[in-house]
Chain A
C-alpha cells in the first residue's frame, strides 16, 4: 500500500488547499446577500417557472446503454493485463463476449435508442401555391415608395 502514499498525501494537501483558500475567501470577501442576488439566474428577470423535474427518458437510456459498455470495459481490463498468457483462448472468449455486446448494441440502435429529438418527417406542402421569390416577395411599385 505504500505506493498509494503519494496519492494520499496529495489528497490531504489538495483538500487543505481547497478548504483554506475557500475559508480565506469567506473571511476576506464581504458577505451582503440580498434577495436579488440570491434569486436563481434568469437573465435579470424574476423566474416564472420552477426548474424542470422530469427529463426525456432518452437521457436515462443513455445511462443504461452506458452500463452495457462499461461492463464490457470492466471485463476487458483484467483480460488485457493477462492477455499474453491467455493467448488464442483469451482472444476467442473475448470475441464471443464482444459479439454479444455488439448484438445487444445493434438491437438497441435498431430500436431507435440513439435517435435524438423528434423525427424529421418530410411532408409535401399541401398548399397549391408554388412558393417562389416572385410569389412571396411583393414588388412595391415605384409610385408607392416613400420619397
Chain B
C-alpha cells in the first residue's frame, strides 16, 4: 500500500502546504486561487446533488417516489427550487431588527464555505513546478479553525432567531444555542484525542499520521469511542435529525428561520447542507484516514485514487445522515441535554485521558483506565443526588441552583 502523504505517527508534525515552500510567488497564488475556485464549485455542485440525493433517498425509504420532474430522475429539482426562491419576495418582518436579521444568513453561510477549505481531499500533486496539497488551505491551527468556524456558525442561527422579533424563531434560537453549546464541549474533547496521538493541529498532519495502514486510522487506533462521540456531537452541531430541535417543524413551525423568505432563507438551507458535507469530510479526515486507502498504479491518473477514496468515504457518511433522518425520531429537549452532558462529555473526557495513559505505557494506561472506571462508578451517584434534590425542591419553588 502506498499513500498520499506518507508519514509515521509519533513525529512532531509541523506540516504546511508546500506550495509556498519557495516563498509566495505569482504561480503559487494562482494555484491557490484555482484551488479555491475548484473547491467552491465542488461544494456548490455537491450541495445541489446532496439535496436531491437526500430527498430521493428518503422517498425510497418511505416508499414514495420523490422529485422526478425536473431533469433526468429529478436531478435538477434543486436548481428549480433555488430559482424559485431567488424570485421570491424578500420580506422584513415588522418587529425584526433590520441589520441583524439580514446579517444572520451570511453569518451562517460564509463559515460553512470556510470550513471546507481545510479538508484534504487528496494527496499531493505537482503542478507548474510546485508541489501542493489537494486542500485549499493548511493552516497550522487547522482543527482550531474548524471549531472556530462552527462556533461562528452558531451565531447565524442565534441572531436569526433573535432578530426575527417573533416567538417561534426566538424559541428555536435559544434551543439551538443551548444545544450547540452542550455538544461543542463533547465535540472538542473527542477531537483532542485525535490531536493527542497526532501531535499536530493541521489536517494534513492528522491525515498523514493515519497512513499507511487501515489499523492506523484513528477510528481504530483511538478505540471507537471518540469517533462515536464525534459523530453524535457533529450531528447535533449540524442541527440535523434526530437533533433538529432548533427547527423542530412540528413544534416551532420552522424554528429559527420561520420568518425568513426568499434568498435569505435559501442561504440557511445552503449552509445546512454545506455543513453536512463538510462535517462528513471532516469525520473522514479525523477518523478514517482522509484520502488514505489502497492505491493501484494507474499511469497519469494516479492522483485520482486518493480523491476517489475520500469521495467514497464521505459519501458513506452522507448516506448515514440521510438514513438518520429517515429512521430516527427527534429527541425531546431533556433527552438531548442528558445525552450531551451526562454521557458524551464525561465519557469523552475519560476516554481521552485513558488514551493519553496508553500513549505513555501499558501500565500507566491501565492505571488511568482504573481511575476513569472509578470516577464512572461514582458519578452516577451525583446524578442520583441531583435528581433527588431537584424533586425535593419541586423543581420550581426555592431552587438551590436556579434561584
Q: Do chains A and B touch in the complex (CB under 8 A)?
A: yes
Residue among A80, A106, A110 with most chain B CB within 10 A:
A80
Contact B357 A33 (CB under 8 A): no
Query: How many Å from the CB of B381 to the closest CB on chain A?
Result: 8
B155 at the interface (CB under 8 A from A): no
The count of chain A contact residues (Cβ–Cβ below 8 Å) is 87
- CB-CB < 8 A to B390: which residues of A? 112, 115, 119
A9 touches which one: B36, B259, B262, B368 (CB < 8 A)?
A: B36
Contact B386 A6 (CB under 8 A): no
Contact B137 A38 (CB under 8 A): no
Query: How many Å from the CB of A42 to the closest CB on chain B?
Result: 8
Where the two chains meet, the residues of A that have a C-beta atom closer than 8 Å to any C-beta of B are 2-7, 9-11, 13-15, 17-19, 21-22, 24-26, 28-33, 35, 37-43, 47, 49, 51-52, 55-59, 61-63, 65-66, 69-70, 72-73, 76-77, 80-85, 87-88, 90-91, 94-95, 98-99, 101-102, 105-121
Contact-residue bracket for chain B: 35 or more
Binds A, one of B84-92, B238-246, B300-308, B321-329: B84-92
Contact A52 B389 (CB under 8 A): no
Contact B402 A57 (CB under 8 A): yes
- Report the Cα distance A58→B391, complex, angstroms: 16
- Report the Cα distance A81→B209, complex, angstroms: 13
Contact A111 B386 (CB under 8 A): yes
Contact B359 A25 (CB under 8 A): no
Contact A10 B396 (CB under 8 A): no
- Report the Cα distance A6→B137, complex, angstroms: 5
Contact A9 B91 (CB under 8 A): no
**Closest partner residue, chain A, to B342 (CB atom):** A114
B346 touches which one: A10, A70, A80, A102 (CB < 8 A)?
A: A102
Query: How many Å from the CB of A113 to the closest CB on chain B?
Result: 5
Contact B40 A4 (CB under 8 A): no
Query: How many Å from the CB of A112 to the closest CB on chain B?
Result: 4
- CB-CB < 8 A to B331: which residues of A? none
B90 touches which one: A26, A51, A108, A117 (CB < 8 A)?
A: A26
Binds A, one of B12-20, B69-77, B291-299: B12-20
Contact A38 B391 (CB under 8 A): no
**Closest partner residue, chain B, to A120 (CB atom):** B391
Say whether chain A's binding surface is mostly helix, strand, loop, or mixed. Answer: helix
Contact A112 B114 (CB under 8 A): no
Contact A65 B341 (CB under 8 A): yes
New A-B pairs, 16, CB < 8 Å, besides A25-B86, A57-B403, A91-B357: A5-B137, A9-B136, A13-B40, A14-B40, A18-B110, A29-B86, A41-B93, A51-B95, A51-B167, A72-B185, A91-B364, A94-B356, A102-B346, A109-B383, A110-B389, A119-B392
- CB-CB < 8 A to A52: which residues of B? 167, 170
**Closest partner residue, chain B, to A66 (CB atom):** B181
Contact code string B112-130 (vs A, CB < 8 Å = 1, else 0): 0110011000000000000
B26 at the interface (CB under 8 A from A): no
- CB-CB < 8 A to B88: which residues of A? 25, 29
Contact B386 A116 (CB under 8 A): no
- CB-CB < 8 A to B28: which residues of A? 2
- Chain B stretch 306-347: residues in CB contact (< 8 A) with chain A: 333-334, 337-338, 341-342, 345-346
A73 touches which one: B106, B189, B262, B364 (CB < 8 A)?
A: B189
- Report the Cα distance A31→B262, complex, angstroms: 11
B185 touches which one: A10, A70, A116 (CB < 8 A)?
A: A70
- Chain B stretch 229-280: residues in CB contact (< 8 A) with chain A: 253, 258-259, 262-264, 267
Residue among B29, B36, B87, B345 with most chain A CB within 10 A:
B36
**Closest partner residue, chain A, to B138 (CB atom):** A3
Contact code string B10-36 (vs A, CB < 8 Å = 1, else 0): 101000110010001000110011011
B218 at the interface (CB under 8 A from A): no
- Report the Cα distance A102→B387, complex, angstroms: 18
- Chain B stretch 164-180: residues in CB contact (< 8 A) with chain A: 164-168, 170, 174, 177-178
9 A-B contacts (beta carbon < 8 Å): A9-B36, A10-B39, A37-B91, A38-B92, A77-B195, A80-B192, A91-B364, A112-B393, A114-B341
- CB-CB < 8 A to B39: which residues of A? 10
- CB-CB < 8 A to A114: which residues of B? 337-338, 341-342, 383, 386
- Report the Cα distance A108→B402, complex, angstroms: 11
